[in-house]
Copies of this chain bind each other. A is one copy, B any other.
Amino acid sequence: MILYGHWRSLAAMRVRIALALKGLAYEERSIDILGGGQFAPGFLALNPQAAVPALEAGDGPPLFQSLAILEWLEETHPAPPLLPKDARGRARVRALALISAADSHPLLVPRVRDRLARQFGAGEAAITAWSVHWMATGLRATEAHLARDAVPGPWSHGGAPTLADLFLYSLYAGYEQRGGSLDGMPNIARVVAACEADPCFTAAHPLRQPGAPRR
């Protein structure tokens, strides 16, 4: 399999974690999403949406959209499972994942940062404040669900990682890089600690990829 990603992409990070958890070999190719490489004709032929990640696997055009890729990995390589067996548990895990996938992360990708600068004249500090606001909003919503449901941990949905944790950890990675704090979010802190004890999660971190700045 070939993963088209970028060191900074939180969406590529989630796919990396799943590939590692399932023990699947792949090669990663970097698309320069900060320099417009996603709009090059060669990449548009792979993913006309002009976004990473995309996953080349078998025949047909590459899979795209991180959650769709993860569901496909789950269906085609079911061990270890990243979704619970019961329909209600699967709905909970998917909904928790979607707090990050839909309502948080898409608000801070390059195309949105560019638009904020172009339409509202937003500078770097304003864009960072915007990004931190949406990551904090998503994390607080997730915390509120984890606190209410009180499902035993250490992961979001019990004793093993699920898609909810992949999305949560990738959102946290962006938040932490921008100086965000988990004060008042003990359940998120518990899940993040579980992620940080698992090399499948930590090895996928943006700052550990080729091309990333050294911290």
Contact of A75 among B65, B90, B111 (CB under 8 A): B90
- Are A149 and B91 neighbours in the complex by a CB distance under 8 Å? no
How far is B46's CA from A149's CA once the two chains are assembled, in angstroms?
A: 11
Cα-based distance from A115 to B116 in the complex (angstroms) = 12
Task: Report the minimal beta-carbon distance from A123 to chain B, rounded to whole angstroms.
Answer: 11
- Flag whether A49 is at the interface (Cβ < 8 A): yes
Residues in B neighbouring A67, C-beta threshold 8 A: 67, 94, 98, 102
Interface size class of A (residues with CB under 8 A): 35 or more
Within 8 A of B (CB), among A159-197: none
Residue contacts A-B, CB under 8 angstroms, 25 given: A48-B144, A48-B147, A49-B99, A61-B148, A63-B88, A67-B98, A67-B102, A68-B92, A68-B98, A69-B91, A69-B95, A71-B90, A71-B91, A72-B87, A72-B88, A72-B90, A72-B91, A101-B102, A115-B130, A115-B133, A119-B126, A119-B129, A119-B130, A119-B133, A120-B120
